[in-house]
Amino acid sequence: MTTVEKIPEPPSDAPAIRVMTLPRDTNAEGTIFGGVILSALDQAGYIEAKRQADHKYVTVQMDGVAFKKPVYVGDVLALYAETTRIGRTSIHIKVRVMAERRAGHGAVVPVTEGEVVYVALDADGRPTEIVPSA
């Protein structure tokens, strides 16, 4: 059986989402919990997957996430998402996370990046073929 790889829509120049970090998101060290950033990364990837093809998706894998810089209360995270591959039932999204520092006159630093893999599901919760949006 031959599989035909689908061509993703070109990436958007705009962030998939922007998030303001708040005091409730901090750990005992005063920086933002990594889990808060992972949640935003997952949400940004989901938004990109929906932009490519309107399906219900579940996250099945996150790869290559390594935190490069801490995130502080008041930083604004900008998450940029790009589809790297669309398979038959799965879609791979690369997400880059940038932090605009509240303190530091708007300096922007890379925080992390990673690839998230989602699987499209049908109404019964079974994997379904991804049909790109027209």
Helix (H), strand (E), coil (C) string for 50-117: HHHCCCEEEEEEEECCCCCCCCECCCEEEEEEEEEEECCCEEEEEEEEEEECCCCCCCEEEEEEEEEE
Give domain 17-121's CATH architecture.
Answer: Roll (3.10)
Per-residue confidence (pLDDT) for residue 132, from 0 to 100: 76
Per-residue confidence (pLDDT) for residue 3, from 0 to 100: 54
DSSP designation for 34: H
Which sign does the torsion angle of CA 48, 85, 38, 112 carry?
negative
Q: At 69, which amino acid appears? A: K
Q: At 72, which amino acid appears? A: Y
Per-residue confidence (pLDDT) for residue 5, from 0 to 100: 63
Per-residue confidence (pLDDT) for residue 26, from 0 to 100: 96
**Nearest CA to 71 among 31, 25, 100?**
31
Q: State pTM to two decimals.
A: 0.89
Task: Give residue limits of the domains in the chain.
Answer: 17-121
Question: What does the block give as tokens for 87?
Answer: 């398979």
The span from the CA of 69 to the CA of 85, in Å, is 28
- In order along the chain (134 residues), what is the average pLDDT of each group of 10 residues? 64 91 95 97 97 96 96 96 96 97 86 98 96 74
Q: At 25, which amino acid appears? A: D
Per-residue confidence (pLDDT) for residue 6, from 0 to 100: 73
